[in-house]
A and B are shown apart, each in its own frame.
Chain A
Amino acid sequence: MHCRIDTRPLDPEALKASLRDVRAGGFVAFEGWVRDHNEGRAVTGLHYEVHERLAVKEGERILQEALGRFEILDAACHHRAGDLALGEIAVWVGVASRHRAAAFEACRYIIDEVKTRLPIWKKEFYVDGDSGWVNCAGCAAGHVHAHR
Chain B
Amino acid sequence: MKRVSVEYFAVFREQAGLSGEQLETRAASVGELFGECALRHGFADPRERCKVAVNDELAPWETLLADGDQVLFFPPVAGG
Contacts and interface: CB of A to CB of B under 8 A. Distances in A.
A137 B44 contact: yes
A53 B46 CA distance: 25
B45 A115 contact: no
Contact of B10 (A53, A90, A133, A144): A133
Given A49-B9, A51-B72, A136 B45 contact: yes
A133 B78 contact: yes
A49 B10 contact: yes
Contact of B46 (A48, A120, A137, A147): A137
Nearest to A122: B78
A120 B79 contact: yes
Interface in A101-148: 111, 114-123, 133-139, 144, 147
A136 B79 contact: no
B37 to A, nearest CB: 15
B53 interface: yes
Nearest to A123: B10
A122 B10 CA distance: 9
B11 interface: yes
Interface of B: 9-11, 14, 44-46, 49, 51, 53, 56, 58, 72, 74-80
